[in-house]
Structure 1
């Protein structure tokens, strides 16, 4: 056949399968590598078990992803809402700088210098933007080196803390917390929970709750920290931290701490001082320089090294800082006057002292030089004259004649307060009470040369039976003058004089001089069976020195609010009404000088000074006293055991007199001696004869003949008129 221009159709094999669709052509496999992709897939699906496991795994992953993504979204939403909640509630920065619940009390000495603090000190607001670089850099280097690079929570810091805790054998969240400065500030703010006296039993309980570190609280702390980061700038957060951090010794904030420890502003501290302050953040009590200066310096050197490592200090500056460690101010170093400060705090109302919500300034009578003299003297005597390990205690009070207390030692641990044996301990006075017996006689007109018989003596006391006093040496000394009786501290003459002038007179004079505790009612009154505190006893002797006027010991001069000029209250104490005549007081001063010159108090002599005083020893030697004075100062010393255990080999004329002398030698250093205001009696051979006689009779030299005869008869009956 001839072709008509068409191509011959290709030959096609006839269909072998009818009624079925021919299978589609398969594409050639794409070459990948060696071309084994199809074979691997075929092998995987060729095993139904593997396929099932793989499918299950993929399903679990998809499920986890779906749930996790939703949980993450919900968590982010909750955290965001929580951050927003706290963000809205956060107040301005200025309202967060002073976080104290109580105010402070600053105590000034007689020269206007600070010597003690009470309450929580706040030195004033400082700003991270204007404060000196040293404290700012020391804090960042120590507490949060990535402070300016995180959002309030530092995951790297947390991870590092967990690693360190585990390596040291602790729980992951025990020990190092990895908290940022922002988180620490959140904790200082107690996560926005203010102190409510109705909710918390005490501030201590409230603060303890703020410091809890449970997981739930840490989570809330993190959220609060992020809210702070959103609300405030980094410098504002750091400002809050610098002002609120507690740095020991009652100091809140770096300004208060700088003033407390170094006597200067935070803007003036050196790198070594700044490092010491930053070192307190970890453990304020442990590293407080007032507790252990060497430990605090070692901690500061560690922080100086961190400051160098992080570029805040050059190697040269760090070396200079380490070579010149921080030195405490004189007030901080002395740590003296703790007992005095606690005593003065009780002189004002609690709402202006112990429980004040204001910052208060109290000007006092305290003298730091005299306080150091008392503390050094006590330490010296116990180190050189007391058996090592002795538990005996002692107390000292030094005051002026008007009752202004200059120094006070309430116990051997002079650097701390606590139980103040000078003001709180009521102890029997022993023979230290006898001057008030003779004061009553002198005020009735007797002279120091009046005589009394030292002989066996018995009184029948109604309800108690017979009372027979004995002298310390268990001997009788015949007729003695009142001066000799006091000089040698004879007991029998003291009781006879007391009975002669009347116990009520003795009680009245002692009470008017300030010994107003429960005075004994019986004849043992004359021998110091009554109790008194050392401060009241010293004040009573001050009344003798000042010419016979009563004295109320005082330490507070005035109290005012910080920043105010007008005081809210002034002096509460000082000289009061006259108790005995000036002539009687001056005669008594003379009699008491003889105690020092030739009597039981000879160990209290001061070179170049006239001294008057009296020893006192109670029964079984449970208490030993020496109280005396010069023309400048009055000082009292008590010694004994807190549990009333009898002492061995101690009398008022022994160790207490030694302590008194050591105190007064130091107190009078550099002072010009002045004579005591005393009236020396005429010699006995030239003076008119005087006898102690019963209370209620006319004084010698007065009245008619019948009265004089009656006096003589009564004198014979009482045994006070014998030759």
Structure 2
């Protein structure tokens, strides 16, 4: 039997051990093979070629873009960082005015006018009224405390609005943040330099250019400010440098200018009005149009309510009680009087001051209101509607301190033509008191007699000249007092010729008539030109007893913060011109003008009043200048283009304006007598008119001069042509 098992493995039972089996299984497990994704086959043909090119450029653009962006960010960061290192300290940026300011106070110390760039002092985001701070943010930049200085969302919105409204993308709405607006106000760190030849207005226009390049520089400067200053610091700069109309720089100055209070104490309605000025300071200035400014403020109050800065109740309260101007602000910067003070003071402390100046003036605001109201009443009740006639008023005391001034019917203006101080007009019969003052000073009496009869004077080189009376009638023999009372022309010329024209010119000049006085016999009838303030000042000399007066409005001038004034009063009583007894007799004569003569319409309240009417050829100018024991006032009326007045003489509307003004001025004042004396008796009393008075009287002297010296031709004449003046008004 053969062995069938040779060479074969013996059959044995498998050893069953779980531990061994698991171990063996673990060690023998194969790792799975990771299969690669199948590579898609390249697309052939032209499409595949184009796709490969597109992929190449996409990768190239991405590589360039992110690297370029990185470089641009680095450059921008360096630029912003460098700009931030050049920014000055906060305190240096708060008052950036190129010139100073002038604050004017009345004689009682109350502020009534401002000129120049006002700066009320520094306010900060912490010290200003919370209502004002909220109004500014709600109006100008509601995300101010969230952005980094520029707002891409705001810029995109502004561009979209500009394009929709048919403008260029950078024209109109700017989308600027408050920080960017501060960058504009700082002109990107370039201060104003007059040496460049630019005006301040041109400089500011250049700073506000809206070119793309300028916008980029502006954005960088804004980012630099955000890096250098805190948000409150930036808001502080904005609140102190913003122009807010009426010469006010900064919210403190504007609050003082419009409301007479600090910006720290304004209520929601006032805060909204101030914030509303930012968009258009001149247009929305409450001194220009209060109703328009209030409407703008109402819009801002609504925005403050929508942004939860005001409750609905607070907003309703502010809407129901809109902000109103202070009394000083309502006076609109002092008008003509303030302009006159600015023009009469030293230029380096007024019109071109670089300092903040305080000027105390002679203005009495009660009297100023009386002058304005009196003029307005007459034009509303006595002058035909639509008349273009103008008028001017000056009120002063006997020492020349000007208490009120109206330079035209539109008295709530600044910088306008001032007819009280700038208009040279013929004076007409208002000049005659100088003629009689000369005669009285030389010893004549108001009761001396003179003949009111036709007169012809031969003027060498000009021929004969025959003045006439306004009524074309002659009264015969009259006293000097009667001649002035009735404003007779012939006696005035005769007296002037008798005492000598040079003497009359000397007296008129001594009383302050600085204009070029006529050389011929028409001097006596007011052929010369003068200003209202000169004539009123001269009449003040009659009231004070015969001394010259220089009208003045400035009492003292000092720098803000200084106690000692830099200069004091620039006017007042000067040298004596005529003797006191002559002045007192002249006042007596002028009182008769008002109580019995051509100035009767000026009477009021039983007061003693002296004055003189004046009307020029063809009634181109009409005057009334007069005084009580307290004040002197002058009124001029006429057209700027010399159009003749219709039915107006000095004894008419000007006298009525004078009365309406002085009635208001004297309300509550006691009756003050005039400083006057009755006339001395003449050397030769004439009880009845005579044809040939004695040679010792004024008439006799004149007749002798005309007959024996001049042969009827008049004395001290020149070759200057004399105008035909009929003078003497009712």
- TM-score scaled to structure 2, two decimals? 0.89
Equivalent residue for 1:157, pick from 154, 162, 171: 154
Q: Distance in 1 between matches of 2:392 and 2:556?
A: 26
Indicate conservation of the 8 Å contact 2:445/2:682, yes or no. no
Residue 685 of structure 1, CA deviation: 12
Q: Secondary structure at the match of 2:387?
A: coil
Q: Distance in 1 between matches of 2:6 and 2:511?
A: 159
Residue 567 of structure 1, CA deviation: 0.3
Indicate conservation of the 8 Å contact 1:690/1:700, yes or no. no
Q: Distance in 2 between matches of 1:367 and 1:712?
A: 50
- Per-residue Cα deviation, 1:222-243 (whole angstroms, up to 9, x for no partner): 1000000000000111111111
333-342 or 625-634, which moves further after superposition?
A: 333-342
Q: Distance in 2 between matches of 1:422 and 1:292?
A: 27
Residue 307 of structure 1, CA deviation: 1.1
Indicate conservation of the 8 Å contact 2:684/2:697, yes or no. no
Residue 688 of structure 1, CA deviation: 7.4
Question: Is residue 446 from structure 1 mapped to residue 444 from structure 2 by the alignment?
Answer: yes
Q: Distance in 1 between matches of 2:648 and 2:77?
A: 76
Q: Secondary structure at the match of 2:637?
A: strand
Question: Is residue 600 from structure 1 mapped to residue 598 from structure 2 by the alignment?
Answer: yes
Residue 49 of structure 1, CA deviation: 3.0
Aligned to 1:587: 585
Residue 75 of structure 1, CA deviation: 2.5
- Per-residue Cα deviation, 1:511-569 (whole angstroms, up to 9, x for no partner): 00001210000000000011101000000000001111100000000000011110000
Indicate conservation of the 8 Å contact 1:98/1:244, yes or no. yes
Aligned to 2:718: none
Residue 684 of structure 1, CA deviation: 8.3
Indicate conservation of the 8 Å contact 1:629/1:635, yes or no. yes
Indicate conservation of the 8 Å contact 1:271/1:321, yes or no. yes
Q: Distance in 1 between matches of 2:208 and 2:378?
A: 45
Runs of 4+ in 1 over 3 A off after TM superposition: 2-6, 26-30, 682-692, 697-701, 708-719
Question: Is residue 561 from structure 1 mapped to residue 559 from structure 2 by the alignment?
Answer: yes
Question: Is residue 361 from structure 1 mapped to residue 350 from structure 2 by the alignment?
Answer: no
Indicate conservation of the 8 Å contact 1:403/1:574, yes or no. yes
Equivalent residue for 2:193, pick from 193, 196, 215: 196
517-526 or 467-476, which moves further after superposition?
A: 467-476
Question: Is residue 610 from structure 1 mapped to residue 635 from structure 2 by the alignment?
Answer: no
Q: Secondary structure at the match of 2:195?
A: coil
Residue 658 of structure 1, CA deviation: 1.5
Indicate conservation of the 8 Å contact 1:137/1:312, yes or no. yes
Q: Secondary structure at the match of 1:122?
A: coil
| Aligned residue pair count | 681
Aligned to 1:645: 643
Q: Secondary structure at the match of 1:557?
A: strand
Residue 169 of structure 1, CA deviation: 3.1
Aligned to 2:63: 66
Q: Secondary structure at the match of 2:443?
A: coil
Q: Secondary structure at the match of 1:676?
A: coil
Equivalent residue for 1:327, pick from 311, 324, 334: 324
Aligned to 2:174: 177
Q: Distance in 2 between matches of 1:636 and 1:711?
A: 32
Aligned to 1:13: none
Aligned to 2:468: 470
Equivalent residue for 1:339, pick from 313, 336, 340: 336
- Per-residue Cα deviation, 1:477-511 (whole angstroms, up to 9, x for no partner): 11111111111111111001100111111000000
Q: Secondary structure at the match of 2:282?
A: coil
Question: Is residue 392 from structure 1 mapped to residue 386 from structure 2 by the alignment?
Answer: no
Aligned to 1:187: 184
Residue 67 of structure 1, CA deviation: 3.2
The correspondence of residues 621-700 of structure 1 with structure 2, limited to 5 A, is: 621-681=619-679
443-452 or 199-208, which moves further after superposition?
A: 199-208
Indicate conservation of the 8 Å contact 1:248/1:280, yes or no. yes
- Per-residue Cα deviation, 1:658-695 (whole angstroms, up to 9, x for no partner): 21111111111111121111112368899579999xxx
Residue 709 of structure 1, CA deviation: 10
- Per-residue Cα deviation, 1:44-66 (whole angstroms, up to 9, x for no partner): x5462332332233233223323
Indicate conservation of the 8 Å contact 2:449/2:697, yes or no. no
Q: Distance in 2 between matches of 1:103 and 1:5?
A: 125
Aligned to 2:213: 216
Q: Distance in 1 between matches of 2:465 and 2:490?
A: 11
Question: Is residue 123 from structure 1 mapped to residue 120 from structure 2 by the alignment?
Answer: yes
Aligned to 2:20: none
Aligned to 1:247: 244
Indicate conservation of the 8 Å contact 1:543/1:551, yes or no. yes
Aligned to 1:349: 346
Q: Secondary structure at the match of 1:568?
A: coil
Residue 164 of structure 1, CA deviation: 2.4
Inter-CA distance 626–183: structure 2 relative to 1 (3 Å threshold): same
Inter-CA distance 365–49: structure 2 relative to 1 (3 Å threshold): same
Question: Is residue 261 from structure 1 mapped to residue 258 from structure 2 by the alignment?
Answer: yes
Inter-CA distance 336–179: structure 2 relative to 1 (3 Å threshold): closer
Residue 401 of structure 1, CA deviation: 0.7
Question: Is residue 543 from structure 1 mapped to residue 545 from structure 2 by the alignment?
Answer: no
Aligned to 1:421: 419
Indicate conservation of the 8 Å contact 1:548/1:578, yes or no. yes
Question: Is residue 230 from structure 1 mapped to residue 227 from structure 2 by the alignment?
Answer: yes
- Per-residue Cα deviation, 1:108-128 (whole angstroms, up to 9, x for no partner): 001100000000111111111
Question: Is residue 291 from structure 1 mapped to residue 288 from structure 2 by the alignment?
Answer: yes
Indicate conservation of the 8 Å contact 2:425/2:530, yes or no. yes
Q: Secondary structure at the match of 1:311?
A: coil
Residue 298 of structure 1, CA deviation: 1.0
Indicate conservation of the 8 Å contact 2:448/2:697, yes or no. no
Indicate conservation of the 8 Å contact 2:424/2:530, yes or no. yes
- TM-score scaled to structure 1, two decimals? 0.90
Equivalent residue for 1:206, pick from 203, 217, 227: 203
Inter-CA distance 338–89: structure 2 relative to 1 (3 Å threshold): same
Indicate conservation of the 8 Å contact 2:171/2:210, yes or no. no
Q: Distance in 1 between matches of 2:425 and 2:505?
A: 17
Indicate conservation of the 8 Å contact 1:450/1:689, yes or no. no
Aligned to 2:269: 272
Aligned to 1:312: 309
Residue 647 of structure 1, CA deviation: 2.0
Aligned to 2:21: none
- Per-residue Cα deviation, 1:89-112 (whole angstroms, up to 9, x for no partner): 101101110111111100000110
Comparing both chains, which one has the higher relative contact order based on Cα–Cα distances under 8 Å and sequence gaps of 6 or more?
2
Q: Distance in 1 between matches of 2:348 and 2:644?
A: 41
344-353 or 176-185, which moves further after superposition?
A: 344-353
Aligned to 2:18: none
